[in-house]
Structure 1
Amino acid sequence: MQIGLEAGLTNQLIDEIDQQPGHLPLLEFALTQLWSKQQNRLLTHQAYQEIGGVEEALANHAEAVYAQLTEADRQRAQQIFIQLVRLGDDTEATRRLTTREEVRLENWDLVTRLASSRLVVTNRNESTAEETVEIVHEALIRSWGRLEQWLIVDGDFLRWREQLRLAIRLWENSGHDQGVLLRGKALIDAQEWQLQRAQELNTNEIRFINKSGELRELEVKQQQRIRKIGISSLVTGLILALGLAGVAWLQGQKARMSETKAISSSAESFLNANLEFDGLIASIRAGRRIKGTDGIDANTRTQITETLQQSINFVREKNRLAEHDGMLESVSFSPDSKFIATASRDKTVKIWSLDGKKQLVVLREEKGEGFNSVAFSPDGTLMATGSWDNTAKIWSREGKRLHTLDGHKEAVLEVAFSPDSQLLATASWDNTVKLWSREGKLLHTLEGHKDKVNSITFSPDGQLIATVGWDNTMKLWNLDGKELRTFRGHQDMIWSVSFSPDGKQIATASGDRTVKLWSLDGKELQTLRGHQNGVNSVTFSPDGKLIATASGDRTVKLWNSKGQELETLYGHTDAVNSVAFSPDGTSIATAGNDKTAKIWKLNSPNSIIVRGHEDEVFDLVFSPNGKYIATASWDKTAKLWSIVGDKLQELRTFNGHQGRVNKLSFSPDGKYIATTSWDKTAKLWNLDGTLQKTLTGHKDTVWSVNFSPDGQLIATASEDKTVKLWNRDGELLKTLPRQSSVVNSAVFSPDGKLIATAGWDKTVKIWSIDGRLQKTLTGHTSGINSVTFSPDGKLIASASWDNTVKIWNLDGKELRTLRGHKNVVHNVTFSPDGKLIATASGDNTVKIWNINGQELRTLRGYKDAVWSLRFSLDGKTLATGSRYDIVVWHLYLDDLDQLLVRGCDWARDYLQNNPNVNPDEKSLCDGIRPIAQQ
């Protein structure tokens, strides 16, 4: 179809873009906008004016794209765009080519969407393989008013960060010379910006600032030692000596306080960057310091104990093994879970104890480019390696080379033993897979892939082999080498393949940034999306409940068996190439291009984190005897868990509701559980999971359920604006007068004589047990989610969408308002002794307050809103419910010594055995006895 331009429009377009560098993208964009407004196959001056000319058209388009973003994405977009601009002191702002790491990996999904909207351009650096992004044209910087405003507001920060990045490049080019680290005002400025804008700094920037702070701390110590020597030599009299000593002491104390605050800020920055292990080390250092420093203010002391508590509760990384000289390609656990093997490009394989204390065996090769793969035989007697020299090798457990397997014509990327340890499979870039006996005899060559083969695995019964490679396919074979099936679906090469322990599913990890789950008949079951770069490795946990993936985006992700993302593990500073579960299911090992292997623990003695639900954990409650926890979830189930030491063991699932399960309650005798649901019902269950009664009568979602203290009554609150009272046989006894809005919560007083209700009408109402309204408590400015009585029945606490909690007496007087949350407060509960209050919020935190309303502690580390929480019967632990997660905290509110003991127990292997730990850190836990010795 031919399109014409109105007379003179061509010249106008040329005149506008003639002075623009790189004008072709602008012209293309303007013509595209004009095309959408063509009339009768003619592009007109009127249409050109409507789009605002070349530059204004681009700005209007940017504003339209921005307007369609969610509020969260708008904030991310601002962070992205300001990084794509270089501010000059006296010159115009210009485009800045920015790497994927600089805009932060978690923002790359939005970058790709902005690229699809033609506001930015993405590319890949051919020499470094780094992905990059830049603004589509500098005209956008000049014409988009919103971006101009952002640059005005953030100008100081942007100029500072440009200087920081220059300093980092100088430091890296100098071989990490300490003389290039930040000092003086530059360090103070950096630490202040780090406190204010930690979320916008990447890992390298945070590490550089913290390294500079650590050097400053070391230099201050040296200066103090020199000062002490100088003072001693200048002592000429008692008075002079006392005077100088006093000055030195005051200066020393002031310096220590300043250093302690800097270390504490460093720890918090690590936690904000999801680097919990680094945060733990910094928190321990800060904790040791405040024990030896007088005059530390209360806020700093609280900050240190909070970061230490958060670190020990959420840390997963247990140890770092860092003695290779080249990138690591593979990691494998021994069958007894006591050792790991790491294969490196430095031409060695190292066998380590998990504490990092000993390298038991080192396997070496003299030629080639190093090892690609290492595997233990299931019987534990052999090891196998694959190398760039086109061979595989079989070794004794003691490191003696037994057989060299020649036959491949290209590099051997992976080796795998059969479950009975009798066969070894090798995958090669010569497009083939070979099967060998454990004595090194070639049995079969599997040919069928059209390109390089990257990975291979045996089925759990040893009867099938799965292979993947550069041809974007997975193939299934029998042991005779016959190809049974080809699986297609990935859009890029496949790097890794793994069978589920029951042999019913296969997982594949691809350069297309996805993992796919397949049935054996070739059906694609799930696609796991979330990584921001190619996925290099995938494996199932021994019980089949978890899947771990490792990616070029420097992260490891944990997923449940249905493909839902549960957790992201941060810490590697370069691509992660390999991930493995320990056979006992307690640990994960990872290996990457940063030349390190990391050991992560799935469970911690310092907290319990369970991912037992497939949707929000909306409520939880301890049983009256304290032995169980029951949870209610929007996955339409309730679950009962047994508390066994530092673990929660799932006992049973209560199925029966046809909608999301909102709330639940134990009967006072602990024999029954009541649940409520979006299906408009409440249900009464025995603990063995038998359904006793279904309470029907509400006309909408039932939000709340509670037993009376004597166990004879049940109160339910509903979206239908009513509260109903039932006997424990499920018979409806009374409906309280209909309220003006949704009722979210109804609870009995400890003496059973009153009922408190709360909901969307912004009030708390107090009723007598016979249904007469006694008091209406007003003061909240938005709907109320939760209401509860104190254990002595004298106080009521209410949690609201207005981000506050209010404390009332029974006369209806508002005693105090608890302010501090930055989002809706979903739940509130008293400790059993009535001295503490805990609150759960949509700001992803839990706060603990004393009864006077003073905030004592903020529990951070959650990735999503916290919906529910309860104290244990002894008040020493707090259970919380969030997205998929049940988190049980051990509370050490005022016990810094106990926090240090637990922190050191976790970090001691790393501090004592890692050669890269500086001498100052090695002694960090000296004098703190392990828990086992107490």
Structure 2
Amino acid sequence: MTNTVGNRESFIDASRIFTGHRALGLVSNHIPLVTRYIPQRKETLIVTVIGNSYHTYGSNKLNLLAVGRAHEDDITCLAGDNYRVYTASGHTIKVWKRSTELCNEFKGHEKPIHLMLPFGLHLLAVDEANCLKVWDTNAAEVNFELSFNPETFCISALVHPVTYINKILFGSTQGTMQLWNLKTGKMVFAFNGWKSPITILEQAPAVDVVAVGLASGELILHNLKFDENLMKFKQEWGPITALTFRTDGAPIMITGSSQGHLAFWDLEQQTLVQQHRHAHRGGVTGLKALTAEPIIITSSRDNSLKMWIFDQSDGGVRLLRERCGHKAPPIRLRFHDQLGEWILSTGLDSSLRAFSTVADLLHRNLGTAHYNQKKARRVGLEKAGTKMPPIITFASESVRDKEWDSIAAVHRRHSKVTTWSFHRSTMGEHKLTHQRFVDNMALTKSSATCVTVTACGNFAIVGYDSGHIDRYNMQSGIHRATYLRPDTEKSSELPYTRNAVRGVASDGLNQVVLGVFANGQLNTWNFKSGEIMRETNLEVAPSLIEINRHSGLLAIAMEDFSIAIVEVETGKIVRRLLGHDGRLTDLAFSPDARWVVSSAQDCSIRTWDLPTGTCIDYFLVPKSCVSLTFSANGSFLATAHVDDLGIYLWNNQSLYTQVSLRSLEENFQPKVAPLPGSTARSSCSEVKDGDTTEEDEQFASPEQISDSLVTLSLLPDSRWKNLLNLDVIKRRNRPKEPPKSQKLAPFFLTNTNSLEAIADNQKESGSRILDSSSIPFATPLTPWAGKLNVAGKPEEYAAVIEELKAMGPSAIDTEIRSLSPHLGGSTHLLSQFLTSISVVLESKRNYEVVQAYLGLFLKVHASSLSEEHELCKRAEKLSGVLKDSWSTLQSNFENTLCLVSFFMNAVI
């Protein structure tokens, strides 16, 4: 799995048509999860490992936030703190910030690393050679190194006891513990321990107390200060694989086992208060409690991540959210809808799942096949008895999704075909089978081998290894018809004479039913009457078939590694495709039936052009492809591979770029294309780390990318767009009715509140002729106008405009009006303002804001400009600068509009 630039080039080099897109269904593996609380997000991030990469999930919705870059080898150990994520792959430790950016690498270990612990500005790492290295995370250097004898003390766990400065506690497979001071490099104390290997160490909420989990299933709360056991518990489910404490006030300790069970221990009562069996289908490898929240997170090697909450009336826990994929590798894939948004897959775990190509949050689990599905729903899957064998093949049709079951599934070595509902995301009530397999003793061990659902969604047609082909109604499960060859009844009586059905299909109009048999025969029946219409000898035994109902073509994979293309209407072989060197595993038609994509056990994937009958694309994959499918819109090719839990999507490049479709040469040497990696969707939140104590180099966007580009100020429209209409806005905002005057008092009372007010009125009764001290032009300059008055350098003019940008619309209007000679300004100030506008326009910064300021200036001071000859010259010069800057923009606009008009109207 990968998502780096180098590997994208590998995709392009390996395949002409397909390039890796992303992986689906990968959640976790056997490496324990890591939790990181990020204060800026107010959220805990959950990190899990998937092979050679890792996922970061958010605890709020358990949604995928980020995907780490691929490593050269599988990740063997994972650690993290509020600032960084640390991954160990091979002999190298990589340090990541913001979950995806590689910021450092630590190289120096001679063996793979299996334990890591962040310790302030240091990282502790223990490799398989039992060597401890203390790394300085800033300098990427080893500050301290210590080797232990694996025969006497083989490190299996480590923890930093709180309040123990510079000290680390180590646990061993011999059952003993040692407390070391890393600053002095000396051992402080050696604990006798226990006779069982220590599997995990965890700091308890109480100081000096550490929880010790043993391989024997015992759990000890040990006081380090006095070297004594405080409490002792034991679980009967095998070794303790995970351990955590609730930190929201409840004295509860939770442990996980190798069988997937969870145990909840009350530390006050020292008893087991709850057990949750089969919380996972595999061993619990990761277990963390969220800080100050009644929530725990668990992960397992069964490819699942689950969130549990303590909100039951008895204090119990229930499942809140989960993200999971197949526990066992998928073996069959098919797109379900016409938009290419849903992929149905079955695995060796007997489950049927639906994966969304749009968002990981939409993935569904349709359930696990059980003989008694009602009981499984009532008492749980693990208590419902034996589950059905794995689904080896299935067929679906989305036409009748909401009315009744739309999926029919065939189980390994089983005669009953189960139905499933995609709309309800559950297993259906019907198990399709014929009475002959119950009544006839010779047929009791017969099993279904193939199935198809008709285009109308009403019928399922099933083929058996006995040679029978039956049609069932999907709504009622009732048998409707049987399609037989003349020798079917006789050959089915004895196992060694049976002619097994290898594939069955129907056309798009329900006119014919086609079946291929192990003896190399292709038979065609009338859909309604069941009469045989024709027989075609394929000459070679077939292994599987795939039909394209729109084109009426049937692709048949042969046992001699060839592919035969048959025309449904005539039954003739129109193409035979040769080239594979291994057994064919699956076939897929492109939506227009022009291509057939085939996969084989030789790890090859080929694309065949049917009009020419040649191979036009050929590449190899690291693991053999067991199933592939083409989306109905042609966007994606989905593949599943041997011993791999993921479903991999490949982009069809021919939809958006020119692709060469010439046939390949006979001596063409294919290249290996790496499997796509998981990628977070574009709608995912940005992952931020906590505040770091070190100074990270942060990218700062320049104020102006280039001097030749026009740069906008990015101010809100309300700050500059209405400057020319402020007077209109003020008139509109005036009150509709004028303020009412105060009622006159009686003649013997005055309208004043005090004697001082009477004195003021007497003063105002004097002459109202303005004196020289009250004229408006005596007003002093504003601070901004004062800076404009003395400006002389380009940077000083730019600073004046920047100060004006920080003001509001009304303040800007007042400042520009104050430049008038009649209001305390001067002609020099008007000239200075025009110069500042010219300087900013020449620098091509704040382009839209300066235009608004200039518009208001001309509106207010137009008469003053026309009266002064010097101002007219300055204005003419500014007009030339303005025209030059706008002509460049106008030319680019016209070129762009011309090209857009051509592409929209040209007939291609």
Question: TM-score with structure 2 length normalisation?
Answer: 0.45
Structure (1/2) with the larger helix percentage: 1
Which one scores higher on RCO, CA 8 angstroms, separation ≥ 6? 2
